[in-house]
Amino acid sequence: MNAVNDDRVAIFDTTLRDGEQAPGCSMTLNEKLRVATALRDLKVDIIEAGFPAASPGDFESVRSIARTIEGPTICGLARCNSKDIKYAWDAVKDSANPRIHVFVATSQIHREHKLQMAKEEILKSAVESVSLAREYCENIEFSPEDASRTELEYLAEVVQAVIEAGATTVNIPDTVGYALPDEFFKVFKYLKDNVSGIEKIRLSAHCHDDLGLAVANSLAAVQAGARQIECTMNGIGERAGNCSLEEVVMAIKTRDGYFNVTTGVDTERLYPTSRVVANVTGMHTPRNKAIVGENAFAHEAGIHQHGMLQNRATYEIMRPEDVGLGRSNLVLGKHSGRHAFRERVEQLGFHLDDLELNRCFEEFKRLADRKKDMYDADIEAIIMNVDVGKAGPWIIDELRITAGTGTVAAAALKLAHTDGREIREAAEGDGPVAAAFRALEAVTGVELTLKNFEVRGVTVGDDAQGEVTVTVEYNRQSFRGHAVSTDIVESAAFAYLEVINRILRRRDSDDRVEEKTIALGNP
């Protein structure tokens, strides 16, 4: 492959790895599969499905994605050690196109304070790890973490050595979002001028958004010859996030005459994919978010509207249809049939099996009886919500709330466990939501620290559904849960129980996978 002369930029999506690392963005296996399916439909080139050695749950989800998602390359991340590399390979090897991504930090601050390793030791470990990974897999990516703060000469030495050891992609991360576009361009230029054999591999950029420059830096890298961009949907990721996929792809498409490169992304899938990720993570995009925000194509000022009526190009550099935003507002009603419902669900970016579709359709009919107008957002909420509170192990059977001015709020509930237990509990609180949370904790024995509580109207009108998102801390880890109902106390209770159930399921599956991975043998 002569990557440098290639005019095709590969899109490497790391929503499921770097994105999922963002506080509160952890996803269940089903949610990850849903996102991976949407990314496949979007036609990204590579999906970084996770970090298999991080936890048994991560291993399982990377393996499931590798086994079920056809089309893109499926990549697993590994540190420079034989155990991580073996886990990564075991997780991705069933994909038709597997990749192992090996990384180690190279900057002085990371060498001295995080790794306590000398330059020579890091170089040796990088070379040995890439060589070992090459024994398993032909497609190897190497990342010198914090590359943008690494001495250029040393960076070039490491890059040259890993290319000789067999790396096929070398990724240059701006791990802490410190670089400026011109500076980042020069890093790529320096490597191209000083590393022999660099023309044989694909150069990649991985930028974080701490200074709001992740997209600009990634585009600068493309101008300097990078032919892979690492990014996440909606820009989710550690701290301020990663380079936003929809922004960088649309910049390349809209300014194609400037960049003279293309991507393989089906841009009409951008909006549906963004919605899937927002719904799964509960991280909703701001209204003014470029490309996928609610207002991204709204023209309010009279003078703009006048211009638009004469010629759309006066104020519109992209067409909303190009990013998949041609959707109608009022969609279906209570007389709509299953066929129309299925079609709409698919246009919204979801693939449901017959069982899931039936469950969602029944819920749609129930809601359509209560609610005058049904919008796309209602359908998305039904899909995201249909499993909430049903996967167990605890399920709410009854929830009764009493509250009012001058009375102490109280919640009485009955929970059923998948093992057959049924428990009733009552609790009081400062308000109805607090009372419901106390009762849930008393039954399940899981105590959470509530960090954030958000209520959002899914659509408009006084019969609109309310989505509650709770962010909580448990064992110094952050979890997010969300649920939708026309009754917000009920949404809150479902969201809270969703987090509790997630913690209990993770405990349970980690125990089981732990047994399995021990059986696999310590690599």
Which residues are near ligand KIV by CB under 6 A? 18, 103, 143, 145, 171, 173, 175, 206, 208
* The two three-digit tokens of residue 71, written as one number: 């089309």
| Type of residue at 6 | D
10 Å CB burial of residue 421 (0-12, 13-18, 19+) is exposed
Give the nearer residue to Zn ion in terms of CB position, either 160 or 204: 204
Respond yes or no on whether the N-terminal peptide bond of residue 181 is cis (omega within 30° of 0). Answer: no
Q: How far apart are CA 203 and CA 263, in angstroms?
A: 15
Helices of type H across 232-353: 245-254, 256-259, 270-281, 302-310, 338-347
Count of residues in contact with Zn ion, rule CB under 5 A: 1
| Among ligand KIV, Zn ion, none, residue 45 binds (CB under 5-8 Å by kind) | none
Min. distance of Cβ 238 from ligand KIV in angstroms?
Answer: 7
Give the nearer residue to ligand KIV in terms of CB position, either 14 or 274: 14
| Among ligand KIV, Zn ion, none, residue 143 binds (CB under 5-8 Å by kind) | ligand KIV
Residues 6+ apart with CB under 8 A from 135: none
Collapsed DSSP state (helix, strand, coil) of residue 512? helix
Q: How far apart are CA 436 and CA 157, in angstroms?
A: 59
Half-sphere exposure of 413 (CA within 13 A, CB side): 29
Stretch that binds Zn ion, among 10-18, 217-225, 265-273, 467-475 (CB under 5 A): 10-18
Strand partners, 483: 468
Give the nearer residue to ligand KIV in terms of CB position, either 95 or 175: 175
Give the nearer residue to Zn ion in terms of CB position, either 18 or 60: 18
Instruction: Compute the C-alpha angle 123/126/127, nearest 5°.
Output: 85
Give the nearer residue to ligand KIV in terms of CB position, either 208 or 344: 208
Min. distance of Cβ 14 from Zn ion in angstroms?
Answer: 7
Min. distance of Cβ 259 from ligand KIV in angstroms?
Answer: 23
Give the nearer residue to ligand KIV in terms of CB position, either 176 or 484: 176
| Among Zn ion, ligand KIV, none, residue 15 binds (CB under 5-8 Å by kind) | none
| Among Zn ion, ligand KIV, none, residue 107 binds (CB under 5-8 Å by kind) | none
Q: Compute the 3-state secondary structure of the chain and give helix, strand, coil in percent, each to the nearest 5.
A: 45, 20, 35
Window 14 to 73, contacts with Zn ion (CB under 5 A) = 18
Give the nearer residue to ligand KIV in terms of CB position, either 85 or 492: 85
| Among Zn ion, ligand KIV, none, residue 21 binds (CB under 5-8 Å by kind) | none
| Among ligand KIV, Zn ion, none, residue 145 binds (CB under 5-8 Å by kind) | ligand KIV
Ramachandran bin of 34, using left for φ above 0, alpha for ψ from -120 to 50, beta for the remaining angles: alpha
Min. distance of Cβ 73 from ligand KIV in angstroms?
Answer: 16
Min. distance of Cβ 212 from ligand KIV in angstroms?
Answer: 16
Min. distance of Cβ 133 from ligand KIV in angstroms?
Answer: 14
| Among Zn ion, ligand KIV, none, residue 103 binds (CB under 5-8 Å by kind) | ligand KIV
Which residue, judged by CB position, is nearest to Zn ion in the bound state?
18
Min. distance of Cβ 425 from ligand KIV in angstroms?
Answer: 43
Give the nearer residue to Zn ion in terms of CB position, either 42 or 105: 105
Q: How far apart are CA 371 and CA 365, in angstroms?
A: 10
* Distances, alpha carbon 370 to alpha carbons 232, 299, 333, 482, 498, in Å: 37, 33, 11, 21, 25
Residues forming contacts to Zn ion in the complex (CB under 5 A) are: 18
